[in-house]
Amino acid sequence: MAARKTKPETSRTDPTKEPAEVEYPRAMLPPEDFLDIEPEFFARLSPNLQAEGDDGKYLGIPEELYEGHPHHECSVTIDADGAWRVTWQPPGKRRARRRARENSSALRLCDLKALLERPFFALSKTRHTPIRYVSPDTRIFVNVDATSSGLATIWDADVLIYLISALRARQKRGDEASASLQVRARDLLTALGRGTGGRHYDLLRMALTRLQDSRVETNVRAGGQPGPAVAFRFIEAWTEDAESGDGRAALTITLPNWIVEAMADGGNFLPIAPAYLRLTGGRARWLYRVARKHAGGNGSAGWSGRMRMLFEKSGADGTFARFAFEMRQLAVANDLPEFALSSQTNARGEEVIHMRLKEPWKRWKDGVRLESDL
């Protein structure tokens, strides 16, 4: 009997091995922070790992780790369940072309820091009363008024996230900046996790109308600092082009200069977890946005917000008692993407909501370890 052939074993560093994959369930690390990950993390995945980052830079790996060792390609993606996946594989022209197509079609969601931090959007779908906000130091104000269509809601803001993300992607490709974008309505709805039936197109039109009808007056500049007062609408204009005869094929949307001017500085953006789009509650969505702005870069230390300050910062139109109750419920549920929540009392005896990035990740910033348990 002929001896049975056995497949030779290969190591992770063998360039002939099939693609390998490591998954970290529900560990959400923003793309901007990949540049701060400890180099040894990727070195453990593959000694010859070649990892290219969100902006074309290597992910914090010293040159000596990848120079002269182009044996593996690496990609970092996120699936629908909010899990980050690191995949490394042997290079190849066909695979490289396929990967380039996949990367170009995937839209990385991001939003402006100023929109994340201040109360620009209604937290309920039926609010018609205006938003009036003044920061505790009186240096910043936000006023939002609307017509009979109602205020733009925090769910309508998903459309802005998509448009801002599309503008950011075009900017990074080197395209000329423009206030007007042409997008396929179906692509927009799909990217936001919405359906594509007739009712969903109608809801999209209603959201665009509210975004156009809501009039904003503020002195917040794109970087979050106070400046000269300016008035604008979230969407200056939009038109629907019936390319395929069904009236739903394409949209041309014009954004205000307040947003377009922010595109000049890449530091005005923060990535948004795709799982955020699946949050259903208005206050849960708002709390994620606050956590993303204030706790996203603080590592294991996190950030605490006084309950009264959070209430004022939210622009909520209900009572403080109701707001505090709902914040406590969110802390107990503790199911926001990326962030862990807890209700605590500070040294002055004030109730606070503490927010921190969920583990496990090692994160570095300016050579200082922010989180130590991988």
pLDDT by residue (tens digit) across 299-356? 778 899 999 999 999 999 889 999 999 999 999 999 999 899 999 999 999 999 999 9
At a CB cut-off of 8 Å and minimum separation 6, what does 30 contact? 270, 271, 273, 296, 338
- CATH topology for 108-272 is Arc Repressor Mutant, subunit A (1.10.10)
pLDDT by residue (tens digit) across 102-124? 444 468 899 999 899 899 999 99
Q: If you search the block for the tokens 């937290």, which residue do you land on?
A: 123
pLDDT at 365 over 90: no
Contact between 373 and 358 (Cβ < 8 Å): no
pLDDT by residue (tens digit) across 285-309? 999 999 999 988 777 788 999 999 9
What dihedral do alpha carbons 43, 299, 32, 339 form, nearest 10°? 110
The pTM of this model reads 0.69
Contact between 104 and 118 (Cβ < 8 Å): no
Tokens representing 260 are 């377009």
Domain boundaries along the sequence of the chain = 20-106, 108-272, 277-374
> Which amino acid is present at 52?
E
